[in-house]
Amino acid sequence: MRLLLISAFLLSSTILLPGPTRAATTPEILQALPAGDGVVVIEPKAFFGKALPSALGQMPEHRTRLDTEVANIRTDFGIDLASMRSIGVSLFVGADASTSWVAVMTGDLSAVSSEDALASKLDAFSRNHPKYSVRKVTHEGKVLFVLPETTAPGAVREDIAVAILDGSTAAYGAPEAVKRAIDVHRGAAPAASSVAALTDALALADPGSPLRFGMPAPQALIAAEMKRDPNNPFLATLANVRMLFGSLDATSLKLTARASTAAQTTEVAAVLSAIIGLGQQATGSKPELAGLFDRMSVSSTVPDATLTAKF
């Protein structure tokens, strides 16, 4: 199960190799994202208006849940995600398989553009959703609001925080990751745009897709797992992957793993095919999810092995 989770993470992330010139391909939103282990860039109107609904077209329960969440954000906070100018996400991966993230969005935030306005919206949100509370924190002179969530009697987790960076920019995600975004905004920490490993990986994804991603391979995670299980051939194959990059549009999701040699490419393609098989087995009792794995295929052209899911 642990290996399946690691594989799922690798499939939903990105890995790197030196490539295209960054100046012509680096999205502006990366200047607001903290440097991490991976990046996702979203064009909101096309993503929320067409690509994501199409991807969830054969999973009506998930589509309904998405529509409800987007509508709730609009009602509770006055933010229309589809009308945002740009959205980016930085991913952080630990050697212990822990992950965190922060999303930075730019656009019309007039309903929450001041500290007081955001505090008022969050207070109303917590009253309507009693499992959440609101805690005000100051980081380097900037206020962020942490939303502790009561998951069971006596059990509280603090996974989410939000901060207004300026009148048209907000950060949302893990509290420590939001602090990193604040540091980038005040010029005290490196932005994702300054890391060639991230920008070069992202540049390999389809530039016309409303969602694209890229990241250097999480070698620390893979090395830690190989140390724990040194004779596992599955992990040995993953160690040959140099980068993952990909995209999502209205017709498909593409995830590409880049290796070095023809033999490695063949091995990585076999692993991707095996992951599809594992997914089919794991979702056998859920037809809407099993159908997604049935529409997946793997192709390879040295040095890339690509998994494609058709919608």
61-71 pLDDT, tens digit per residue, is 888 999 999 99
Task: Fill in the DSSP letter of residue 55.
Answer: H
Question: Which of 36-40, 56-60, 226-230 is predicted least confidently?
Answer: 56-60
- Which of 139, 161, 194 is the endpoint of a domain? 194
Domain count, the chain: 2
Residue of 71, 11, 14 lying closest to 41 (CA atoms): 14
Residue of 137, 45, 125 lying closest to 77 (CA atoms): 125
| Same domain? 66 vs 201 | no
**What is the per-residue pLDDT for 256?**
97
Question: Quick check: pTM over 0.85?
Answer: yes
What are 145's two structure tokens? 């609001």
- Rounded CA-CA distance 5/136 in Å is 34
- Rounded CA-CA distance 278/270 in Å is 12
| Same domain? 185 vs 207 | no
* CA 218 to each of CA 22, 96, 244: distance values in angstroms, whole numbers, following the listed order: 22, 11, 10
**What is the per-residue pLDDT for 291?**
82
Tens digit of each residue's pLDDT (9 = 90 or more) over 182-227: 999 999 999 999 999 999 999 999 999 999 999 988 888 888 888 9
β-sheet bridge partners, residue 201: none
- Which of 148, 164, 194 is the endpoint of a domain? 194
**What is the per-residue pLDDT for 2?**
41
Flag whether pLDDT at 283 surpasses 90: no
Flag whether pLDDT at 21 surpasses 50: no
Residue identified by tokens 């009792």 is 285
Q: Does 53 fall in a domain?
A: yes
How much is the average pLDDT of 278-293?
A: 84
- Rounded CA-CA distance 302/168 in Å is 43
Question: Which of 20-24, 262-266, 306-310 is predicted least confidently?
Answer: 20-24
Q: Three-class SS of residue 214? A: strand
Within 189-228, strands assigned E span 211-216
How much is the average pLDDT of 153-167?
A: 96
| Same domain? 293 vs 279 | yes
| Same domain? 161 vs 242 | no
Q: Half-sphere exposure of 149 toward its Cβ, with a 13 Å CA cutoff?
A: 10
| Same domain? 155 vs 291 | no
Peptide bond into 218 cis (omega under 30): no
| Same domain? 130 vs 47 | yes
Q: Does 94 fall in a domain?
A: yes
Burial class, 283, CB count within 10 angstroms (exposed 0-12 / middle 13-18 / buried 19+): middle
Residue 220's contacts (CB-CB under 8 Å, 6 or more residues apart) are: 93, 94, 95
How much is the average pLDDT of 63-84?
A: 94
Question: Per-residue confidence at 25, pLDDT binned at 50, 70, 90?
Answer: low
Q: Which domain holds residue 138?
A: 20-194
Question: Which of 55-64, 76-85, 104-113 is predicted least confidently?
Answer: 55-64
Flag whether pLDDT at 230 surpasses 70: yes
| Same domain? 29 vs 178 | yes
**What is the per-residue pLDDT for 9?**
43
**What is the per-residue pLDDT for 18?**
37
Q: Does 115 fall in a domain?
A: yes
| Same domain? 58 vs 110 | yes
Burial class, 266, CB count within 10 angstroms (exposed 0-12 / middle 13-18 / buried 19+): middle
Flag whether pLDDT at 15 surpasses 60: no
| Same domain? 33 vs 143 | yes
**What is the per-residue pLDDT for 59?**
82
Work out the mean pLDDT of the chain and round it to a whole number. Answer: 90
Tens digit of each residue's pLDDT (9 = 90 or more) over 99-156: 999 999 999 999 999 999 999 999 999 999 999 999 999 999 999 999 999 999 999 9
Distance from chain centroid for Cα 290: 22
DSSP 237-251: HHTT--EEEEEE-SS
| Same domain? 130 vs 200 | no
| Same domain? 45 vs 118 | yes
**What is the per-residue pLDDT for 109?**
97
